[in-house]
Every structure is written in structure tokens, then in C-alpha cells.
Amino acid sequence: FPSDKVSVIFVLGGPGSGKGTQCAKLVKEYHFVHLSAGDLLRAEQAREGSEFGELIKRYIKEGLIVPQEVTIALLQQAITENFKNGKTKFLVDGFPRKMDQAITFEKQIAPSMFTLFFECPEQVMLKRLLERGRTSGRTDDNIESIKKRFKTFLETSMPVVEYFEKQSKVIKVRCDDPVETVYKHVQAGIEDKFS
Ligand code: UP5
Ligand code: MG
């Protein structure tokens, strides 16, 4: 696909900040394709015969960022398939969370229009993740993994947000409000960009 034929919005925010929840709402209203990097990695990990299964499993449990080659290949494949079906607008959720990924993706795949960033206090995210962990079956929804995810987010992923902020390409939304209130702020931020 030609990079100028696709629109990409990055969706970032700490673990449990509500990226997936808000993306699901945006998909309904604006007909984006929602690509969660974490979901793609979990699917690849579960795929029979995947050469990366063990590696992904280990990185996710440790809250570490899987090497960019793996994640970017999965995203590229997903965008290619959707593009064949006429889809051109993508919400890329939980990516890029390391500087190298941001640079490689924008060079190799497509530049981002902007980044939607969910700001959230750690206690709020912690409470949500522990609650979800009771039923999610995710190997990283436990207190040890959550602490590691928070550390990685601050040290490795926040620099990406700051990088896009310097380019005035970040829409910040606070996430510790009810889902509908957060969504109202998301809509306001987005309409602004499209008007
Ligand atoms: N909830 C949501 N919004 C709420 C609200 N406003 N009020 C009250 N409750 C709210 O939400 C989390 C929980 O909170 C849910 O129970 C929800 O109902 C509730 P969700 O929308 O799932 O939040 P989200 O930000 O999507 O949280 P998630 O856990 O998915 O975030 P992570 O960023 O940690 O997870 P992700 O799947 O993106 O990544 C997992 C791991 O994959 C990473 O740690 C990393 O190891 C690996 N990874 C990479 O290596 N590279 C990548 O590029 C991406 C991932
Ligand atoms: Mg998610």
C-alpha cells in the first residue's frame, strides 16, 4: 500500500488507561480499523508454529517491549490485508511504545496524523488492571507484571509521547472519568483535528 493512501492515528497511554475501550467506541462512530499491537502480539503468541511465540510470552509477562521487527511486521501485515479490503483509516493502539518503533514505523509504513494520549494516575490504572485480572486471563494482569509495565511505560514509552508533543501532534485526554465522559473529550479532540 502507498503510505500516502492510509491515515494512521497512534493511541497511547499507560497500561489500563482505557486505550482499548475508547478505540472500540471510535470504531463504531468513525469506522476506523482498530489495530491493538498487544492483541496482535497475543494472537501471534498463540498461533501454532509461530517462531516468536516463546519470546512474546516472556516479554509480555515481564512488561518489556517486544523487539520492533516482530511488532512492525504484524502491523504491516494487518494494514496490508485491510487495505486490500478498501480500509484506509487505522487506529494503532498501544504502539509505538519505544523510540525506535516510532521512527521505523513512520519511515517504513506511514507517518502518523496525530497521537491520542490518555493521561491517567497510576492508582487508577492499578485498580482497573487488578479488577480486570480476575477474569481477563492475561498473564500480565498481576501485581508483579503490572509494576514492571508501569516502569516500562515511564522509562521507555513516555519519551515517544514527548517526541510527538514537540511536533504538536498529541491530543491529551484525561482518563480517570467515566467511559462516556472520556469519550466526549476524545470526540472533541478529534473533531478539532478533522475540521
Ligand atoms: N476501563 C477502561 N476505561 C475506564 C473508565 N473510563 N472508567 C472505568 N473503567 C475503565 O481498560 C482497562 C480496564 O479498565 C478494563 O477493564 C476497562 O473496562 C476499564 P482497557 O481499555 O483495556 O485499557 P488499555 O489501555 O487498553 O489497557 P491494556 O492493559 O490493554 O494496556 P497495555 O498497554 O498494558 O496492554 P497492551 O495489550 O497494549 O500491551 C501488552 C504488552 O504487550 C506490553 O506490556 C508489552 O509487553 C507488549 N507490547 C509490545 O511489546 N509492543 C507493542 O508495541 C505493544 C505491546
Ligand atoms: Mg489494550
pLDDT of residue 2: 94
Give the chain's length: 195
Q: What is the DSSP string of the chain?
A: --GGG-EEEEEEESTTSSHHHHHHHHHHHH-PEEEEHHHHHHHHHHSTT-TTHHHHHHHHHTTPPPPHHHHHHHHHHHHHHHHHTT--EEEEET---SHHHHHHHHHHT---SEEEEEE--HHHHHHHHHHHHHHH--TT-SHHHHHHHHHHIIIIIHHHHHHHHHTT-EEEEE-SS-HHHHHHHHHHHHHHHH-
- Which residue's alpha carbon is at the smallest distance from atom 32 of ligand 1? 15
pLDDT of residue 195: 66
Ordered by where they begin, the domains of the chain are: 3-190 (3.40.50.300)
Task: Give pLDDT tens digits along the chain (195 positions).
Answer: 999 999 999 999 999 999 999 999 999 999 999 999 999 999 999 999 999 999 999 999 999 999 999 999 999 999 999 999 999 999 999 999 999 999 999 999 999 999 999 999 999 999 999 999 999 999 999 999 999 999 999 999 999 999 999 999 999 999 999 999 999 999 999 987 876
pLDDT of residue 69: 98
Query: ipTM exceeding 0.95?
Result: yes
Instruction: Extract the C-alpha cell encoding 10.
Output: 497512534
In this structure, the residues whose C-beta lies within 6 A of any atom of ligand 1 are 13, 15-21, 36-38, 41, 59-60, 63-66, 71, 94-95, 97, 128, 132, 140, 149, 175, 178-179, 182
